[in-house]
Amino acid sequence: MPTPKLQYHADGTPSVLKKRIDYTKLRFYQRADVLYQLTKAFCTRFLPKFGDRTVDQMVQSARSIKQNIVEGFVDGQTSSEVEIKLLGIARGSNQELLEDYLDYLKCNQIVEWKGNSPRFEPLYTFCKEHSELAAFQPYIDRWTDEEIANCCICMCHMVDKGLENYIKILDKQFVEEGGIRERMSAARLENRITQKEQIAQLKEENAALRREIAVLKQRLGE
C-alpha cells in the first residue's frame, strides 16, 4: 500500500499538492533551453527559409522538449501520472531532434564527433560543465553547421539521460507513495485524526474545569 509524504500549509494543515520544484535549476531543463536557442539559430543560418519542412519540425521538436518539461513540472503538483507522461513526450521530442541533426550530418557528408574524434572530448567537456544559455551565447553566430550540429547532438544525449533518470525517480515515488488520490485520502485521514485529538483535548480540559469548579463550590460552601 503506497504511503504518501504530505506537504503542509503554514497553519499546519495537510496539503494534497506535491512539493513544488524549481525546474529552471535542473540541468536537463537548462540544456533543453540551450537546444531550443541553438536549433533556431541553426535553422536560420543553415537551412532553406522556404520549402523545407525540416525547419519547422526541428524548431517545434526543440520547443516541445522545453515546453513539455515546464508543463510536466507544473501539472505534476496535482498529478504524477500527467507529469511522467509529459516528461516522456519531452524525451520523445528530444529523440526526434537528435535524429534530425544526425540526418543533417549524413545528408551533407559531415562527420559526427564521437569518442575517437579529437574534437569530441573538448566538446563533451564543455557541454558537461556548462548547461546555461549564457555560456553558449557567444558561439551561436560563430560556430559552423558542423560545430552546432555536433554540439546539439551531444546536448540531446545529455538531456535524454537527465530525463530518463528523473522519470525513474518519479516512477519509484509513484509506486511507493501513490498519486493525488492517495495524498487526498491521507490528508483527509490525518485531518480527521487531528480533529479527534482536538476534541479529546477539549473534553479533557472541560473535565478539568468542572473539577476546579466543584472544588471552588466546596470551598465556598465551607
Provide the percentage of residues in the chain whose pLDDT is more than 90.
Answer: 58
User: How far is residue 193's CA from residue 35's CA, in Å, rounded to a whole number?
Assistant: 50
Q: Under 8 Å CB-to-CB from 109, ≥6 apart: which residues?
A: none
Report whether 6 contacts 14 (CB < 8 A).
yes
Residue 15, pLDDT above cutoff 60: no
Residue 65, pLDDT above cutoff 60: yes
Report whether 46 contacts 147 (CB < 8 A).
no
User: How far is residue 69's CA from residue 89's CA, in Å, rounded to a whole number?
Assistant: 9
The whole-number pLDDT of residue 29 equals: 98
The whole-number pLDDT of residue 28 equals: 97
Residue 2, pLDDT above cutoff 60: no
Q: How confident is the model at residue 62 (pLDDT cuts 50, 70, 90)?
A: very high
C-alpha 216: how far from chain center: 64
* Mean pLDDT of the 139-160 span: 97
The string of pLDDT tens digits covering residues 42-58 is 999 999 987 788 999 99
Length of the chain: 222
The highest-confidence range among 47-61, 150-164, 176-190, by mean pLDDT, is 150-164
Residue 187, pLDDT above cutoff 50: no
* Mean pLDDT of the 171-177 span: 78
The whole-number pLDDT of residue 116 equals: 85
Residue 128, pLDDT above cutoff 80: yes
Better-predicted residue by pLDDT, 65 or 172: 65
The whole-number pLDDT of residue 196 equals: 58
Report whether 186 contacts 17 (CB < 8 A).
no
